[in-house]
A and B are shown apart, each in its own frame.
Chain A
Amino acid sequence: MKTSSDTARMPVLARLRMRFKRELPYHLFLIPGIILAILFCYIPMIGIVMAFQKFTVFKGWFDAPWVGLANFKYVISMPRFGQVMFNTVYISVLKIIFSLLVPIIVALLLNEMRNRKMKRVLQTAMYLPHFLSWIILGGIILDILSLEGVVNSIISAFGGQPIGFLSSNTLFPGVLITTEVWKSFGFNTIIYMAALTSINPDLYEAAEIDGASRWRQIWHVTLPGIRPTIILLATLSLGNVLNAGFEQVFILLNPLVMDSGDILDTLVYRLAFNQAQYSVATAVGLFKSIVSGVLIAVSYYLAYKLADYRIF
């Protein structure tokens, strides 16, 4: 193999040729992904121009009448738009935080379980809600949280007053967040469990020899060991900061909690309902993309500079 001093003595062209030969396989490996990306992501991306047009029927991407920022203005001019934006960010940030915390805690707790079979059964159980779509879960949650439902029956049994979970503006966001976390934590727990298995058991041994208690072991070995995974999942979920979970909110929303529960996507849905307003939907999508993009880029560089960790 050529040493670096050998390489330094080579003429520039030869050096380039050598690097090319060495890196060629990497490029080749990426070709399928690139073709797929071009075909199904980049070519359709031209459609983003719809955000600036009054699009009804396709006659060529550049033939529809241009309206500049009119689509954006239309959405912003909707009554309660400010409230809607606030709700969107508030709900999704809380969702992201709890969706991050709960799986980590559960994964750590599961990891402490010695009984392998029990672990497996519980993991499967926790993964279940993920499979049921909101269409189904929505109806069930409405039943459970209604004034005559299971939860309020338990509260009454303890002598309390039934609580209108789904009709109160103060409680509704909490309901959204709790049910969302409940549905998705099993999914992320699995990823963390997989990450946990790849931590070198020697590190635990060393810590134990040094006299560390289980808690200290977790703090100093486990958590740092899965830190990359945490940062990764946190960053990727930043891409969702303006999403807030359309399907869930749509199913659970009712006239009494519009103030706290209406999010960007439900607003757009109502605007475009029956009207096929693809321009408006694309405009809002573009807006969301830009915000997500900026957030992800910022966290990528922060993680790199501060934690010396390249997320991707």
Chain B
Amino acid sequence: MKKQAAIVLGSILLLMSACSSQPNSTAPETASPGPSESDSVAPEKKIDLKVGRYSLPTWGYPEGDDFANNIWYRHYADKFGLNVTHEWTSLQSEYNEKLNIVIASGSIPDMLMEISTNQLETLVEADMAADLTDVFNEHASDLTKEILYGDGGLGMNSATFDGKLMALPYMTSVIYEPSLLWVRQDWLDNLNLPVPQTIDDVMAVAKAFKEQDPDKNGKNDTGGLAFSNWLFDGITSLTGFFNGYHAYPQTWLKGNDGKITYGSIQPEMKNAIAKLSEMYKAGLLDSEFGMKDTPKVVEEVTGGKYGITYGRNWNVYMYGAGLEGQPEMIWTPLVAPSADGKDVFANVGTTVVSYYVVNKNYEHPEILIQLLNEYNEMAYGPKRNDPEVKKFFAFEDGQTIVEQGHLSLVRTLTTDEATLKSLEYVIEAIEKRDPSKLDEALTETGKYEPSVAYLDGKGTGYMEYHQVKGFQTTIEHYGTDRLIPQAYSGTTDTMRDKMGILGDYEREMFTKIIMGAEPIDAFDTFVAEWKKQGGEQILNEINAVAKSN
């Protein structure tokens, strides 16, 4: 018996020692001699870079490549002597959670990619982020500076704490963001209806789609205006509808008195909600919209249940799956119709999507800047149309084109103006079937081929062409002039504590009022409660910050 006990004990101990702890190391600089492969600037020292990244299972790779071994990493090794390894990877859907835990545990990799404002603030507060002010000034190329400051410095400002630059922002072009009205042209044609131009038109079209069998299949299986219970997403949302009433939900607005206030509590919202409530009563909205999230409604639209909905320029990528069962499906994007004939503006988000941060203990913070320089140069610089450079974005692997741009460690979109011009060039190129116009464009040139193929009746490029149509509508009407940007882009203390529940309260009240469970005047109660439950406090904090800037 004792012998058996000893065996049990012994094997447990053996098991324990098998998983001995490993020392936690930050990236040391290893000096290894030897020539690198290319004959350009061949650094002799190899620099290690450990990062944590997300991947999507739908990403494709050219033959022989994978996430850890791709064209960008090889390029980094050649040009900078950089040895990139993944300390951890996760799938995109849990990237945020994983980041939170890694940060909370107190030890982060050398660089963190695409982190949120909250995560950045946490890192800065915990003194874990490197100060990039000097390395940026020293190493950033002119192009990089131009792009990062393209919004007048708001983005860079949001990454600056106490005058020190603690992260690089991943900039975006807000001109992409207006919420358009998408209508099924084939349904309009079937019912001999013109495109809706006012809110009343929207109501009329919704009614016609619901009652007059627009898909001509003899079944009463279509509905009116489609949107999900998230109310303000980038697809199947209501944002465009509210814009028609000059209301800007979920936006920090600069009021006429110079003070910042919140879009969702403005009186204009009440008018829009009243109209929606009217439409609900008339049966023009899904009576169960409150229970359906965006993916569910997207599925219904794709399946041919709805033909009128608001959303951004890229929406048809999601509806394209319906083409198989409904080959006649065509969508027309429109400017959000106005309620009173006056020009419609669109609210857009901040110019920064996420941040890149360097670990304070990493010995080569300048690498981040260099990588960004490299990306900007290749994506937006004069050599961007070289076939050698194009490989890094759209790689021709036999018959298929494999997207690779997202594999770059550091990315950014370009400025609003540059994007606008690019879109104009691309649209012109497609209209004139003249690819040489594309040389001037900085971005979205990949839309040319598919769009032309579609227009020439080749049967492909449906989704890209629709996106181009969306681009056209967006820049023709909204451009850079009719946009309402966020007047504030940071986080205050009370925002951190209360914004989540305030947002939920907002959605709950709006849903109830639209569905008639509460009267229209409940909106006023909502505004008062919103302020009382922390909204007032938040606005005070924001205005205090704004004043001091």
Contacts and interface: CB of A to CB of B under 8 A. Distances in A.
A147 B126 CA distance: 51
A2 interface: no
B104 A25 contact: no
B340 interface: no
Given A28-B8, A258-B508, A74 B229 contact: no
Contact of A139 (B8, B100, B296, B515): B296
Nearest to A280: B497
B55 interface: no
Contacts of A3: none
Contacts of B9: 28, 31
Contacts of A254: 229, 290-291, 511
Contact of A35 (B12, B104, B126, B504): B12
A167 B290 contact: yes
B500 interface: yes
B70 interface: no
A274 B125 CA distance: 17
A78 B501 CA distance: 9
Contact of B508 (A74, A142, A146, A255): A255
Interface stretch (A53-61, A186-194, A241-249): A53-61
Contacts of A115: none
Contacts of B515: 256
Interface in B477-532: 496-497, 500-501, 504-505, 507-508, 511-512, 515, 517
B533 A28 contact: no
A274 B96 contact: yes
Contacts of A278: 104
Contact of A275 (B8, B118, B125, B296): B118
Interface in A250-302: 254-256, 258, 270-276, 278
A271 B8 CA distance: 47
Interface residues of B, number: 40
B506 to A, nearest CB: 10
Interface in A130-188: 139, 142, 146-147, 164, 166-167
A211 interface: no
Given A255-B507, A270-B501, A25 B122 contact: no
Contacts of B507: 255
Contacts of B291: 142, 146, 166-167, 254, 256
B504 A270 contact: yes
A79 interface: yes
Contacts of A44: none
A31 B100 CA distance: 35
A57 B118 contact: no
B12 A57 contact: no
Contacts of B505: 79
B103 interface: yes
A32 interface: yes
B126 A57 contact: yes
B402 to A, nearest CB: 31
Contacts of A276: 100, 103-104, 118-119, 122
B250 to A, nearest CB: 14
Interface in A200-219: none
B118 A32 contact: no
Q: Kindly name the residue among B100, B116, B292, B533 whose own CB sees the greatest number of chain A CB atoms within 10 A.
A: B100
A57 B106 contact: yes
Contact of B511 (A24, A255, A271): A255
A147 B118 contact: no
Interface of B is mostly: helix
Interface residues of A, number: 34
Interface in A36-50: none
B236 to A, nearest CB: 16
Contacts of A56: 104, 122, 125-126
B3 to A, nearest CB: 12
B104 A256 contact: no
A32 B12 contact: yes
Contacts of B123: 57
Interface string A16-33: 000000001100110110
B298 interface: no
A282 to B, nearest CB: 11
Q: Kindly name the residue among A55, A147, A254 whose own CB sees the greatest number of chain B CB atoms within 10 A.
A: A254
Contacts of A24: 5
Given A28-B9, A142-B296, A278-B104, A256 B126 contact: no
A71 B501 CA distance: 16
B549 to A, nearest CB: 24
B288 A274 contact: no
B500 A275 contact: yes
B83 interface: no
A64 to B, nearest CB: 10
Nearest to A74: B497
A166 B290 CA distance: 10
A270 B500 contact: yes
Given A35-B12, A167-B288, A271 B229 contact: no
Contacts of B100: 276
Contacts of A164: 288
Interface string B1-29: 10001001100100010000000000000
Contact of A25 (B1, B119, B511): B1
Contacts of B501: 78-79, 270-271
Interface in B232-279: none
B105 interface: yes
A28 B288 contact: no
Nearest to A55: B104
B409 interface: no
Given A139-B296, A274-B116, A57 B128 contact: yes
Contact of B496 (A25, A59, A256, A275): A275
Q: Kindly name the residue among B229, B287, B291 whose own CB sees the greatest number of chain A CB atoms within 10 A.
A: B291
Contacts of B126: 56-57, 59
Contacts of A74: 497
B38 to A, nearest CB: 40
B527 to A, nearest CB: 15
A24 B118 CA distance: 54
Contacts of A271: 500-501
Nearest to B529: A79
Contacts of B118: 274-276
A174 B291 CA distance: 17
Closest 9 CB pairs of A and B: A58-B106, A57-B126, A276-B100, A255-B511, A255-B508, A28-B5, A254-B291, A273-B500, A254-B290
Interface of A: 24-25, 28-29, 31-32, 35, 55-59, 74, 78-79, 139, 142, 146-147, 164, 166-167, 254-256, 258, 270-276, 278
19 contacts: A28-B9, A31-B8, A31-B9, A32-B12, A56-B126, A57-B123, A58-B104, A59-B106, A166-B288, A255-B290, A255-B507, A255-B511, A255-B512, A256-B511, A256-B515, A270-B500, A271-B500, A275-B496, A276-B119
